[in-house]
Structure 1
Amino acid sequence: MRIVVIGGTGLIGSKVVARLGEHGHEAVPASPNTGVDTLTGAGLDEALAGADVVVDVSNSPSFEDAAVLDFFRTSTGNLLAAEKKAGVGHHVALSVVGTEERPDIGYFRAKLAQERLIEESGIPFSLVHATQFFEFAPRIADAATDGDTVRMPSVLFQPIAGEEVAEAVCKAAVGSPTNGRVEIAGPERFRMDGFFRTALAAWGDRREVVTDPDAPYYGGVMREPDLVPADGAALGTVKYTNWLATNPPK
């Protein structure tokens, strides 16, 4: 099976490409690094020639509200148009748990706009909704830093290893289109402030985590269920402390 992976040189995309290749598929990484630009359309037609499946795990270089919305609308629109010309039979996209619940948050609103374009395209599709990746924990902490403190709400938080996100994306890519969503999350559910207290201590980071119910996340104040999946989600098996033992923060 020829599977083109948009964003195939990034964190999740490179794992998807490697895993698909190990299972005998022709996995083609497509990104600006390989001459494919979904924002301009450059290289798309050539990359998608003969593709059976397109996997989109790309992300916006900016999370500013207007920029991220423009990225996903433009990129996804160009990609879907090229897929129709190429006769691609299955579009798989990685999205975020909670997009429908929090359209008031800029990043979530942009991902929801992306999903709507996919759903209305007429191309069979599968959407994978993931919780936050372990790999992004340092970045989340940095964004919440105020001086020597890290301000975090005490809402539920259920992060997942990037490797298990890639595994779920690959499973969707080689399966039949669901024309719907599947949710994935890590095996452990935490309070967000408690998770980061434990994480910073494990990193040897001296910043203090302060519980703040009004601390913003992606520009919005989180409510209790916003960052965790609904019942029935597929859960990973890798616990954060085990993952951290072989993936120390850089």
Structure 2
Amino acid sequence: MPDLRFEPCRGCLACVYKGSCAIKNDNLGALLEKILEADGLIIAAPTYLLGPAGIVKLVTDRALSLSPHLEELAGRTRVAATISVAGNRKWNPLGVELLNLFPLAYGYRVIDYLEAYAPGPGEVLLEQTNVARARELGRRVARALSGEIEARPPEEQQCGNCYGRAFRLSGQDRVTCVVCNTTGRLVPDESGLRFVPDPPGPHGHFWTAEHRRHHLNDWIVPSRDRYLARREQIKKQLTRYERKWKR
């Protein structure tokens, strides 16, 4: 993606109301075409500051452009895997979480991931174990698409839907995955704490077709009339703050 140019999302919701993104002078349209065609996806990114490079988040923010295609994609099997590269594990606490958010936002189910570590630029390729694991990751995506294998089992303290290890405490032993909004409990066992989804399975997953449909139709679409009714009031407030800023 460094060879492509992407503008930040404007939050205008043209993709929802008009069926296409209002930004026409960057490469997202070409990338979106590829994403819509591909049932399998592997995305890799370096970590610069605790998580994947900013361009990944920038493109993830534009994922609402997928809105006109939600029903089409809901009937397809689409899987993805991610490769997070960093200098060392301590510098990469959010690499997997934020990188996995990209395919989830674009309608894929994440079935595996790879964390690869090396201190200098490109040095990760000199470790043959990393290269072999990346090759195997590609095979696993292909086999998952054909139904030969299941997704990688989550570790005890990982979310089973997105492999996230970051949770928001919500009272007593209740927690919520910050990447996919799966709720559950932290249950002690002989090895420490284990995340148990409640309800189990993908039912509370933010990125399911059902939830996305609900979010789009029951939340985003109705917000248009509310905004139009208050637009002049919002403009007046913006003008006040813009004047203060210019001073």
Q: TM-score, normalised by structure 2?
A: 0.35
Larger relative contact order (Cα-Cα within 8 Å, sequence gap ≥ 6):
1
Q: TM-score, normalised by structure 1?
A: 0.34
More helix, by proportion = 2
